[in-house]
Chain A
Amino acid sequence: MDKELQPIGSETRAPASQRSRTAELLKHAKALGKEIDVSIDGNSVTVPLGTTILEAARELRIHIPTLCFHEDLCLAGVCRICMVEIEGQRTLQSACSYPITAPIRVSTHTAKVRRARRHVLDLLLASHHGECYICTRNGHCELQALAAEYGVDLFRFGRADRPRYAIDASSHAVVRDMNKCILCRRCVRTCIDLQEVGVLEALHRGQHTKVGTFMDKPLADVVCINCGQCINRCPTGALRANDLTDEVWEAIDDPAKHVVIQTAPSPRAGIGECFGLEPGRPLTFQMNTALRRCGFDRVFDTNFAADLTIIEEGVELLLRLQRAIVERDPAAVLPQFTSCSPGWVKYLEHFFPDYLPHLSTAKSPQQMFGALIKTYYARTNRLDPKNIVTVALMPCSAKKFECNRPEMCASGFKDIDYGLTTRELAKMIREAGIDLPKLEKSDFDNPFGTATGSGVIFGATGGVMEAALRTVLELVTGQKIENFFAHADIVPLRGFEGARYAEVPITKVGPVPALVRHLFPDWNWLRGATLKVGVCHGTANAKRVMEDIRDGGRFSHCHFIEFMACPGGCLGGGGQPTPTSPAIRAARAKAIYSEDHAYSVRKSHENPAILRVYEQFLAAGPCGHESHELLHTAYTRRGKYIA
């Protein structure tokens, strides 16, 4: 089987002022293997030419404080907290941005350095408005941690006694309180370079400098895709998710309400970090217990809906293929794009609205589940849908926007009432006095209890595609996917390259399974075809892929492409615990893939609960009229111009 991989655009475009030209330039030097000796606090180390002082210090396990520096982002060198003294230089240098090109002697904590760092902290604290104990970041704020580290015990240069800016709470997803902003510009670099959405940028200059949106408009009115990556990288509480836990508590406390929560795979892999565990320790079943103790009436597994999405989306793909290959209809729109990442969906609506017909009409698992709960579940349990409150635990801030889309109320009620982030749930669990890691395990509730490994891997980039391929290939070939890929692990689709491409030739076809027999008389038209698929994560990479499609590149010949708005996929979502880094995301991915292995059923179309839903409720089968009404949606041409 041809499994070609083509990472493209893994390097993002950065504005020149923030681009690390040094790094780019010195890549050559590094590649040449040139090395240089450097002495830091009297310890010597040999590093490749062009290594920054910060990198060299980390090698020596010497701690240098940082604020504007972030592993995911290009350099800024603006906060000046990482200053060090280099022998023979009049001024202090920022360790994060200073490339070592000559043998230098560095001191990281001379009197001069200590005073300067204190001053930088004092100055930041003087203009930082907000009390720590009424801040969502209390206890895990990088500014607070530094103040503690440096023993700040007075406001040396005064303090802001009144807010300078109004809080922008216009967005369903992200709340901006610029009074807490320390202008490290991580959010700017996240939005412009990492995600290439371009909502946030520094405005004005001097003391009037602030991070703002285009014409200072409310976040809800600009092209923000709600991905929340800025929240994950904000060192303070200046950016936070729109927290609705109080309303969820209220629903729980209301005896008339039947409160149902579904949990997505990524929060399970991440929530442990909120309780002091190292990344990559899934707490799926402890969390179930905790949720019941919090008072949720039912705890469902979003993976069930993920399996349903795979069926609907996979069948939609096969229908599009049939239309293109058999009917030779030039109007058949391919490649089909995944639609489960609400950040990506809004990105496409804004930036490539002409490509909306490519987007699968299948709702995301969250919304499908909500629609089923307020119809199928309500009916089978004799519940009035107006008394059901659907809560979704997601790793995502954009899900908060998605559940508020006006078109998302197939049952006549909002499919999903509240989207909770991993961080918010952790808060609720703490508030309920529960020590999550030590809790006993318990399973999900029926009738949606059963899920497959395919649903779990939705959380990692490439996971949707892997799950879809497992199902589509088995449906079409009639053979076990294990015959093609050991342990059903489609390894070429995994990993963190920005964009991946793979080809799967279909050499033989099998009989059409009962589930879809009404749609496809046979598979003969697929024999000899090569299924071309693509995967990408992070909207910067999505932009590359979209441009490639527009220009007729290799991705334009794909049949199916998975897009995830967040770097790393859902496990790196904007609702996940802070901080984030490539290592943390890799650990979460590992947790997710190991959980997949633990499932006995790992393919969506083998999920008995899914088959039961089609039997009992969605009688017209996948992509039939019931499912179209409940499980599919339409999109809005938003465009990037703002009125």
Chain B
Amino acid sequence: MTTSAAVQTTTNRLTFAAIEAGQGLNAALKQPPADALRQVAFSGLRGRGGAGFSTSLKWELAAKSAGERKYVVCNADEGEPGTFKDRVILADFADLVFEGMTIGAWVIGAAHGIVYLRAEYTYLRPHLEAVLQRRRDAGLLGSAVAGQNGFAFDIAIRMGSGAYVCGEETALIESLEGQRGEPRNRPPFPIDTGFLGNPTIVNNVETFAWVTCILAKGADWFKGLGTEKSTGHKLFSVSGDCARPGVYELPMGITVAELLEEVGGEAAKAVQIGGAAGQCVPAARFDRTIAYEDIPTGGSVIVLGPQRDLLRMSRNFLEFFLEESCGQCTPCREGIPKLLEGVELLQNGRCSMTYLEELCGLGETMQQASKCGLGQSAPNALLSIVEHFQDEILGRVVAKRPPARRERTA
């Protein structure tokens, strides 16, 4: 167990700690961009932010996309409740992130990199600027990266201003362009129409760090870890009712039970995986695996002890979304308050079965019809609680009362 210097977060042994700055980049620059891309492709790396899109495919499309200016954007707008691994990576392994961005720039042919850092992490900025300067001084950023003539690349840090939705890549780009952080219609995707209309790759902090490791240690090594469809290791942010909360590097495909054992959370009655946007897994299903093919996640694991009130948690999450929805599309803007009202009714034992079913239907519509991932995932927590903890919830449902349609929040 080690402790992050900048912030007192416990971690297990991290691969990142064993990689030296420059290792991955030098390996990448020794080969043509296409070969470096092939390595990333072979490793099977998928986006570590949670959506799990193939990193190499994103990069390949951006590389092929016509455009003189291209951008590499690092999404450091970590805001999912229960996630803090990016903070640890940025504090302790910023070099790996910047190096991953540089490799990305090499692959797609970009000269500009931007780190979009959330406002809540402003205290990390001086450190990150220092690391960037050190890299510039060492020739790892600048007009000829690592002495490679014709490969110019530098990274600027741009701050967020407190908006969770900016973690959505098109909202992030909007924010970079000086707009409200409202997600765009997709297609077109950022890989052809991104920042200022230019091809742009947006990847998570952890994804970039893994790219550096893959180039440094070889794609075979990475592919050998995890499962077939979810290769490699993943960082998990573990919090809640467990003995050892912190950041854990664990192989993809690990079961929930195994993870709980590692962190000392065996007594949990449920685990919320994926943060507010994720799902609540009951103890009976702790045999499920954390992998893109089963439970996909950006790494947020909130352990819920036997005493926890799940409705309170789901209400907390909905209040979170109520604040953080961009308010652009109808299902999300108008749906979240309705779900929240529903949870309040449930808490007061004044929600009928019929209305609960109605709300679940609405939740499904939100999953299908919202414009971006925020609205699509906002109902997840509630729906999974309703599915798995019927008894706990139904205990408070009054079966015969008519649907309380006229209830309003204060």
Which A residues are within 8 Å of any B CB, using their own CB? 15-17, 21-22, 25, 75, 77-81, 83, 90-92, 94, 97-99, 101, 112, 115-116, 119-120, 123-124, 126-127, 155-159, 161, 182-183, 202, 204-209
Q: Please tell me which one of the listed residues B184, B197, B322, B405 contacts residue A207 in the complex, with CB atoms under 8 A apart.
A: B322
Contacts of A161 in B (CB 8 A): 406, 408
Q: Report the minimal beta-carbon distance from B356 to chain A, rounded to whole angstroms.
A: 13
In angstroms, how far is the closest chain B Cβ from the Cβ of A180?
A: 14
Most buried by A among B179, B324, B362: B362
Which chain B residues border A157 with CB–CB below 8 Å? 338, 358, 362, 405
Cross-interface CB contact of B336 among A90, A126, A182, A207, cutoff 8 Å: A207
- Contact indicator B323/A91 (Cβ below 8 Å): no
Kindly identify, within residues 361 to 383 of chain B, every residue whose CB is under 8 Å from any CB belonging to chain A.
Answer: 361-362, 365, 367-371, 376
Q: Are B325 and A206 in contact (CB under 8 A)?
A: yes
11 contacts between A and B (CB under 8 A): A22-B187, A78-B328, A78-B329, A92-B368, A120-B331, A120-B369, A126-B334, A157-B405, A206-B333, A207-B327, A207-B336
The interface residues of chain A lying within 8 Å CB-to-CB of B358 are 156-157
1/0 per position for B378-410, CB-CB distance to A under 8 A?
Answer: 000000000000000000000000000111100
The residue in chain B whose Cβ has the minimal distance to the Cβ of A128 is B334
Does B174 reach chain A (CB closer than 8 Å)? Answer: yes
Give the contacting residue for A119; candidates B325, B361, B408; CB below 8 A.
B361
User: What are the residues of chain A within 8 A of B324 when measuring CB–CB?
Assistant: 205-206
B57 to chain A, nearest CB (A): 16
B193 at the binding interface (Cβ < 8 Å): yes
The docked-state distance in angstroms from the alpha carbon of A115 to that of B185 is 22
Contact indicator B369/A91 (Cβ below 8 Å): yes
Q: When chains A and B are docked, how far (Å) is the Cα of A120 from the Cα of B187? A: 22
Do residues B187 and A119 form an inter-chain contact, with CB atoms below 8 A? no
Interface residues of B (CB under 8 A from A): 163, 165, 174, 177, 179-180, 182, 184-185, 187-188, 192-193, 197, 321-331, 333-338, 341, 358, 361-362, 365, 367-371, 376, 405-408
| Residue numbers in B under 8 Å from A207 (CB-CB) | 322, 325, 327, 333-334, 336-337
CB neighbours of B368 from chain A (8 A):
83, 90-92, 112, 116
Given A156-B358, A183-B333; A202-B327 close (CB under 8 Å): yes
Other than the given A98-B185, A115-B361, A120-B330, 17 more pairs (CB < 8 A) read A17-B180, A21-B193, A22-B188, A80-B330, A91-B367, A97-B185, A119-B361, A123-B334, A158-B341, A161-B408, A205-B165, A205-B325, A206-B321, A206-B327, A207-B336, A207-B337, A209-B333
The 4 nearest A-B residue pairs measured at CB: A209-B327, A123-B334, A97-B185, A119-B365
Q: Which residues of A contact B174 (CB under 8 A)?
A: 16-17
Which of A77, A119, A156, A183 is the one whose CB lies under 8 Å from B371?
Answer: A77
Contacting residues, chain B, for A101 (C-beta < 8 A): 187
Smallest CB–CB gap between B373 and chain A, Å? Answer: 10
**Whole-angstrom CA separation of A155 from B408 in the bound complex:** 13
A97 and B329 alpha carbons, distance in the complex (Å): 13
Residue from A17, A21, A101, A209 having most chain B Cβ neighbours under 10 A: A17
- B180 CB to closest chain A CB (Å) equals 7
Residues of A within 8 A of B365 (CB): 115-116, 119-120
Cross-interface CB contact of B369 among A17, A25, A119, cutoff 8 Å: A119
Q: Which of A90, A112, A116, A208 has the most CB of B within 10 A?
A: A116
Q: Which residues of A contact B197 (CB under 8 A)?
A: 21
Asked whether B369 lies within 8 Å of A99 as measured between CB atoms, the reply is: no
Check A206–B323 contact: CB distance below 8 A: yes
Residue from A22, A79, A158 within 8 A of B330 (CB atoms)? A79
List the A residue with the shortest CB-CB distance to B362.
Answer: A119
Contact A123 B188 (CB under 8 A): no
Tell me if A123 and B406 are in contact (CB < 8 A).
no
CA distance A205 to B329 in the complex (A): 11
Contact B187 A99 (CB under 8 A): yes
A450 to chain B, nearest CB (A): 54
| Cα distance A99–B186 in the bound complex, in angstroms | 9
Nearest-neighbour CB distance to chain A for B59, whole angstroms, equals 20
How far is A115 from B362 in the complex, measured between Cα atoms in Å?
9
Q: Please indicate the chain A residues that have their CB under 8 angstroms from the CB of B361 in the complex.
A: 115, 119
User: How many Å from the CB of B97 to the closest CB on chain A?
Assistant: 27
- Most B CB within 10 A of own CB, among A98, A159, A204, A207: A207
Cβ–Cβ < 8 Å partners of B163 in chain A: 205
- Picked from A16, A83, A99, A209, the residue with its CB within 8 Å of the CB of B179 is A16
| Nearest A residue to B326, CB-CB | A205
A279 to B118, CA, bound (A): 53
Cα A98 to Cα B185 with chains together (Å)? 8
Q: Are B180 and A25 in contact (CB-based, < 8 A)?
A: no
Contacts of A15 in B (CB 8 A): 179
Cβ-defined contact, B188 with A155, below 8 A: no
Taking CB atoms, residues of chain A closer than 8 Å to B334 are: 123-124, 126-127, 207
Taking each of B192, B324, B341, B368, which has the highest tally of chain A beta carbons within 10 Å of its own beta carbon?
B368
B346: min CB distance to chain A, Å: 15
Contacts of A17 in B (CB 8 A): 174, 179-180, 182, 184
A158 touches B405 (CB 8 A): yes
Chain B residue at smallest Cβ distance from A157:
B338
Bound Cα distance A415, B185 (Å): 50
Residues of A within 8 A of B177 (CB): 16
Question: Are the CB atoms of B188 and A116 closer together than 8 Å?
Answer: no
The answer to whether B335 touches A123 (Cβ under 8 A) is yes
In the complex, how many angstroms separate the beta carbon of B70 from the nearest chain A beta carbon? 15
Q: How far, in angstroms, from A119 to B368 measured CA to CA in the complex?
A: 11
Cβ 8 A contact of A205, one of B180, B184, B341: B180
- The chain A residue sitting closest to B336, CB to CB, is A207
Assess A83 versus B369: contact at CB under 8 Å? Given A21-B197, A119-B362: yes
Q: Across the interface, which residues of B come within 8 angstroms of A94, CB to CB?
A: 185, 371
Distance, CA A15 to CA B337, complexed state (A): 28
